[in-house]
Structure 1
């Protein structure tokens, strides 16, 4: 089934999805939840942990994520996963994708890089905590067709609601867009989402823009956001240009803000190549 999700959880409680290698799927890598919006949910306490998810989408379908969730999910934790190379046919290709009312989820200690659109996207939801993650090399896929929507930056929240959407703290955003300016955080007006204790960086001197008005970092801080955050080199130990593992030095500004290094998965492989070198060995071809 070319359109199938690799691992899917519907109407279940107390499930652990851990220590898997999930790759070369046309749809999402892992999907959890089945009830749209804020209706009563039958999914909770889903632990998605230490999975290596890569080469997802493969430029075939649209609207997928390395990890995808929907609905209210108390107790659900997305932790310690490495996600890379998420590319759709044209639009909607995110690393971690909290869709349709995803609420009460903790997203922690994940590394997400090489995504066609944002590393992290929340359509709408409530009280999700995004803490101690590395989001790098996002929006690397230019619109392949003239009428396609352009990529959406590094972090994106869709709808504004009258409650806290996410709490975003102690993360590293390593933006690699080469140009005059780029959206590090894009949102609709009036989204409630406190940001703080985060390191932002672009090695090419690109101006980073924030919020619904896409303002500079200084103007963004004047709104009360990211008061303890900085724009500074996070001082990764490895060669980021070669997509070495995103481990920071002890003197990193991120460490000073409380960021803790993420455990390298034994199954993880280095390199930035997003091409599907094994495509000829797949069971089906499109």
Structure 2
């Protein structure tokens, strides 16, 4: 099995490389080695290497910056995935793309299913939603995996930010009215590999953590585990809950973006990410 991975330097990319079967062939690329926004480059690369599967972990994920750089977000999150989807179909490769819970507006109070209507409320979510549409319009056998609140020992994420702030702060105010499911990038990588091995049908699937939580409660859990592992050498961190309205950001965030995993569990037998267990693992590696 030969697999082309884009976005190899990101959180998911690193974890995918860590989990990759030793008897498969991996073509791990970043934007320097393969510019997915350049259609000619995409076609030439895939024609030359002829992968069996293409996994697109590349994305523009800076939610607030996307409000100021909509064209760049559009190129990376819509045009790039479209180029890969078209080339995958042309050269008979299975295409798997990673999307986000931010395609939803967050007005529900029960988990979003794959059939729910998307209605993004920021540029990042809009470009990711448009990328999904472009993929499915050009490659009906493609797999799209929506996930949420991704963290890992790699790259930039909420867990690493909290631990960094804890090194020089004694008190933090964290939003307590946005609900989602933290998801370990290593578990997403395992889910993708399972779907490859099971030859799952195309379509949209949701994959996320096994427990819904707020950012405030997630931060509190991070510090609790860090203290238990003696990862925080400063005095105990005081975490205060605040409302979204108390901390305005350039891009709006959905207040509720919990994803239902019923479909992926039923079809592929894939269980939700045990983010509590993963959090212990990640913090032990970071500190």
Q: TM-score, normalised by structure 2?
A: 0.30
Query: Bigger radius of gyration, 1 or 2?
Result: 2
Larger relative CO (CA 8 A, sep 6+): 1 or 2? 2
Task: Write 1 or 2 for the structure with the bigger share of strand.
Answer: 1
